[in-house]
Amino acid sequence: MIAALTHLARLGRAAFVFAREGVFGVVDPGLIPPAGQVPVRLARLIERGGAKSGPRLSRALTRLGPAYLKLGQFLATRPDVVGVAMARDLESLQDRLPPFSQEEAEQAIAASLERPVRDVFVSLSAPVAAASIAQVHRGEIEVDGVRKQVAVKVLRPNVSARFRRDLSDFFYVAEKAEIYSAEARRLRLVEVINTMSRSVAMEMDLRLEAAAASEMAENTKDDPDFRVPTVDWNRTTHNVLTMEWIDGIPLNDHARLQAANVDTVELGRKVIQSFLRHALRDGFFHADMHPGNLFLGSDGRLVAVDFGIMGRLLPNERRFLAEILLGFITRNYRRVAEVHFEAGYVPPHHSVENFAQAIRAIGEPIHNRTAEEISMAKLLTLLLEVTGLFDMRTRPELILLQKTMVVVEGVARSFDPKLDIWKVADPVVREWIQRNLGPIGKVEGALAGAGELGHTLSGLPTIVSRAVTVLNQLEVMTKDGLVLAPETIAAIGRTERGRTRGRTVALWVIAATFIGVLIALSRMI
């Protein structure tokens, strides 16, 4: 009871902030149950002046603090949950908060590294950027007599406790909603909050962000257009992340790029192709590639920072992405439809022909437009909307990919408004197709299959041993009968008919198991 009142008190404060910022004014009245109509009207009476303009929900979430900011960012990737209009509102949400003090930062660093700051860093600047979970300082270290500039990321004090508190409120709302709302159960709101909780937990362990940067650095070490800062593992812990300082030009500083005579058309190409290469080739991509997280180095390569939000695509999902992009490029809509069915995304009771027709409705308008009017991100958005008509369940990894592509495409087009997104994507997609679905890919697939077969064959002695055990048990059962406890015999005596049927079923199950083992052995041999 006390816990429920505590949740309600904190949620009441959040509702007040939503009301003051005019959030209830953008809610579709048709979605509000009759019992909620009057409270919503009353809430609108306390809207502050000027609340009717701008991104209302984004303002409210920013006022409510770190956990609500993260909730908004997460829901921006789930238009299936909050609707397309609200998701677009949330896309403008900036994860920026006032920095905490230098003294608190240095105390946190000293406690985490178990050494005074002066013993670890030659110097440590005031914060240069601050977000909901951490802030960044510029530091200097000395290694073998050589001084190097580093970026030092520090978690906010007590941020974990505050997130746990607010997440408990989110779970409370989601659980109650699923009890009383069929729509909430369909959207699986508890699972939505669970997913967000896991994501935030990973962001709040800076060792995991360091590991993501390290993995991406290995994947891209031979890329001509992209690189990742080096992690300083000796100065990295759960609460502190130290990386190479990047002195490049941030991609949101168009004036500096112009002053440096940067070829912006080429820069747009690098942004698009780097992202697609990471998603398709590596299945591991930076999922927060806004211009503030991308720099142009002195060597002409892109450099990414902030690896707190990453996306993964399994091999089947990469094949799905490559084939649908190639299908749209070549106007092979039936193949695009077939890929959805092969991946198991669309239930088999639907018609491939009907689905291909829906895909054509998306693809054909693209080929009647000029290159600068074609948006790959918009196409994927429409594709996800159409698949909903064919009972395709929400695929979080594909939605994250699509939302990242919206940002990446926007960055690229800011440098080249006439960018032909398909022409730029074509070589990357075709390279992956040829490498993975062509002759070389088939040979490697066969070798991988052979490896799996070898692993299975190595388990043959265990399989044979189990088969012999089954045979021995079957022989004992048919020769000596079952050995049962007196209580069991008494129970069987009271249910003679059930006993006969149960023994028959048991014998058939054992026999079927034995036959299945023999069939499996014969196929492998």
Rounded CA gap, 507 and 504, in Å?
5
Residue 68's pLDDT is what?
A: 86
pLDDT of the residue at 215: 96
Residue 514, pLDDT score: 44
Closest-CA residue to 409 (of 442, 438, 374): 374
pLDDT given for residue 479 in this prediction: 55
Top pLDDT among 410 and 265 is at: 265
Question: What integer pLDDT is reported at residue 465 of this predicted model?
Answer: 65
Q: By mean pLDDT, which of 20-24, 118-122, 147-151, 228-232 is the weakest?
A: 20-24
SS3 for 439?
helix
- Grade residue 463 by pLDDT with cuts at 50, 70 and 90: low
Mean pLDDT check: name the lowest of 42-51, 167-176, 374-383, 479-488: 479-488
Point out which residues pair with 243 in neighbouring strands.
151, 231
- pLDDT score for 103: 95
Give the C-alpha separation, 57 to 55, whole Å. Answer: 6
- 54-68, 145-159, 467-481: least confident range: 467-481
Nearest C-alpha neighbor of 60 from the set 11, 10, 16, 28 = 16
Poorest-pLDDT segment among 121-135, 316-330, 382-396, 493-507: 493-507
Length of the chain: 525
pLDDT at 448: 47
The yes-or-no verdict on residue 483 having pLDDT over 70 is no
pLDDT-based confidence at residue 122 (cuts at 50, 70, 90): very high
pLDDT top residue among 489 and 300: 300
At residue 516 the predicted structure's pLDDT band, cuts being 50, 70 and 90, is very low
- pLDDT (0 to 100) of residue 285: 94
Long-range contacts of 321-328 (CB under 8 A, 24+ apart): 321/279, 321/280, 321/398, 321/401, 322/280, 322/429, 322/432, 322/433, 322/436, 322/437, 323/433, 324/383, 325/376, 325/425, 325/429, 326/429, 326/430, 326/433, 327/359, 328/363, 328/366, 328/379, 328/422
Reported as a pLDDT band with limits 50, 70 and 90, residue 296 is very high
pLDDT-derived band at 327 (thresholds 50, 70, 90) equals confident
Residue 81 pLDDT = 66
**What is the reported pLDDT for 278?**
94
What value does the mean pLDDT take over residues 116-122? 94
pLDDT band at 272 (very low <50, low <70, confident <90, very high): very high
Indicate whether 184 pLDDT > 50: yes
Residue 172, CB-side half-sphere exposure with 13 Å CA sphere: 16
Q: Pick the more confident residue, 226 or 332.
A: 226
pLDDT band per the 50, 70, 90 thresholds, residue 418: confident
Residue 505: band (very low, low, confident or very high) from pLDDT cuts 50, 70, 90 = very low
Asked if 61 and 72 touch (Cβ cutoff 8 Å), the reply is: yes
Question: For position 466, what pLDDT does the model report?
Answer: 67
pLDDT top residue among 194 and 386: 194
Q: Indicate if the pLDDT at residue 316 is higher than 90.
A: no
Question: Is the predicted pLDDT of residue 92 greater than 70, yes or no?
Answer: no
Catalytic option among 89, 166, 288, 306: 288
Instruction: Give the per-residue pLDDT at 125.
Output: 95
User: What is the C-alpha separation between 225 and 246, in angstroms, rounded?
Assistant: 16
pLDDT tops 90 at residue 434: no
Predicted pLDDT of residue 396:
66
The reported pTM is 0.71
pLDDT, position 417: 86
> What's the average model confidence in pLDDT over 18-37?
72
More confident position, 199 or 258: 258
Asked whether 242 and 287 are in contact (CB, 8 A), the reply is no
pLDDT of residue 84: 65
| Residue 282 annotated in active site | no
Query: Is the pLDDT score of 507 beyond 50?
Result: no
What number of other Cβ atoms are within 10 A of residue 455's Cβ? 9
Instruction: Indicate if the pLDDT at residue 78 is higher than 70.
Output: no
**Range with the lowest mean pLDDT among 82-86, 197-201, 270-274, 518-522?**
518-522
Higher-confidence residue: 357 or 480? Answer: 357
